[in-house]
A and B are shown apart, each in its own frame.
With several copies, the nearest count.
Chain A
Amino acid sequence: MSNDRATSTPFTKGLGFFVVLGIALLIILGIFVSPADVNQGESVRIMYAHVPGAWLAYLAFVMTAVSSAAYLWKRTRSLTWDRIAGASAEVGVLFMGISLVTGSLWGRLTWGTYWTWDARLTTTAFLFVTYIGYLAVRGLGGTHQQRARRSAVLALLAVLEIPLVHFSVELWNTLHQEASVAGRGTDVEMNGLMLFTLFLGVVVFTLMYIWLVLHRQRSLMLEDMLDDSGLDNALSERRAEATQVGH
């Protein structure tokens, strides 16, 4: 029984090992090996956390939406999907937070300010808060089914904000002549090692995402199971109560 309570399996242990290894490698490559950027100098190294953070947050939120849809579809309805959705959203909020923090640090170094009221930044902040709202709705209480249904609907709506964040740059610039941000988009010239490091960052963040979601999903399941295995006990307790009253 006590083994069931752990959230790790041999697979997640192995995965955890690779994650730690990957982070170490990323730090080495990102900070010591990869070159400084022509325009941005050393500060470009922030990119290796910032960009994977944002992308993985997107992935996490899409995953939340997909599992929510799977939950809502009658044939695949299962609370497992709901827990995956919840776990994924939590990890997504974490990654989005990483991206926000690293982004504003980067902004301090390159633009001279932590925050500016650019469309990308603002929509990112909206996205972040939307998922905090999603988590708040998950925490409202009620039965598991209730929680699952409410939050699934919300997740399907919230995911629509991602294109808004992604295309905000163009949407905004086409109509509004704000100074466009240097280094934004694909016009950055990257050398091979930089590109590889970025790629590594994405891989490492992906592994980290899987690892975190697996753990979180399992611990959510244990919480639910506590309630459900609680159910058998509670049922027999409640039945016993009836016999007491009967006599």
Chain B
Amino acid sequence: MSTVSHGHDPATLEPVVDLCDAVAVLGSFPALAGVTMTVQRGEIVLLSGPNGAGKTTLLRLCAGLVALERGRGRVLGVDLANDRELVRHRVGMIGHSNGLYGDLTVTENVRFWGRTVGASESEIDLAVSRMGLDGRLAHLPVSRLSAGQRRRTALAGLVARRAELWLLDEPHAGLDAAGRDELDSVLKMAATAGATVIVASHELERAGKLATRQVEVIAGQVRKVAGL
């Protein structure tokens, strides 16, 4: 985790996320109705806002998973309108579901997700212990874990992937106090090492302490931006 080198030319200093009046449509519903937002490298941004505001959709847009219907959008220098697939392998996203294989053990799951970006065995072990999963749990099949333990496994898989842009959708939900602290320290270290983090969350006290900036999404638009 400590040295994430991305080969960026620091001279460019382009924002990591740069959206201008971005519109995204789900079905026929404009979940994002014109979002303008920039996020700089190294920031930890908290997305807040009521249910159905469009936080998840905004994260998925940044991850290249949702089409940009109108407006402009660049993420990590990639144009979302044309090549959104190209951004995906540089982004690490965790959504509402965990994406785990129930028959495989915790370590096997983390290894699988780590290997998709060629992480080494030691990085994988590190990720497992970072999320407090070493010991007895490491070799249990995921189907035998509690909800929070499963969430931790998914987060460990994300950690092992060492992305440049981390997008987390309510990552604290289901984690206990220790897990939240572990997650926060992981995210802070990642940001220090040059990654960028965007967290959608309803737990404002908690995530507020972690984030450097808060962006409020309301009805598909960015309403308030507050430094913290």
Contacts and interface: CB of A to CB of B under 8 A. Distances in A.
Interface residues of A, number: 15
A242 B30 contact: no
A32 to B, nearest CB: 52
Does more than half of chain B's interface fall in helix, strand or loop, or is it mixed?
strand
B23 A234 contact: no
B7 interface: no
A245 B33 contact: no
Nearest to A240: B219
B99 interface: no
A227 B28 CA distance: 6
A246 B28 contact: no
A231 B28 contact: yes
B27 A235 contact: no
A143 B57 CA distance: 14
Given A145-B67, A235-B33, A242 B28 contact: no
Contacts of B30: 231, 234-235, 238
Nearest to A232: B30
Contact of B25 (A141, A143, A245, A246): A143
B33 A239 contact: yes
A71 to B, nearest CB: 15
Given A145-B67, A231-B30, A235-B33, A242 B25 contact: no
B148 interface: no
B204 interface: no
B201 interface: no
Contact of A234 (B29, B67, B218, B221): B29
A245 B28 contact: no
Interface in B8-32: 23, 25-30
Given A242-B218, A245-B50, A234 B28 contact: yes
B157 interface: no
A230 interface: yes
B36 to A, nearest CB: 13
Given A143-B67, A238-B33, A239-B34, A231 B223 contact: no
Given A143-B67, A145-B67, A235-B34, A242 B223 contact: yes
A241 interface: yes
A230 B27 CA distance: 11
Contacts of A235: 23, 30, 33-34
A227 B26 CA distance: 11
Given A143-B27, A230-B28, A238 B218 contact: no
Given A227-B28, A231-B25, A242 B67 contact: no
Contacts of A242: 33, 218-221, 223
Contacts of B50: 245
A141 B29 CA distance: 13
Contacts of A141: 27
Interface of A: 141-143, 145, 227, 230-231, 234-235, 238-239, 241-242, 245-246
Interface of B: 23, 25-30, 33-34, 50, 67, 69, 218-221, 223
9 contacts: A142-B27, A143-B25, A143-B26, A227-B28, A235-B34, A239-B33, A242-B220, A245-B219, A246-B218
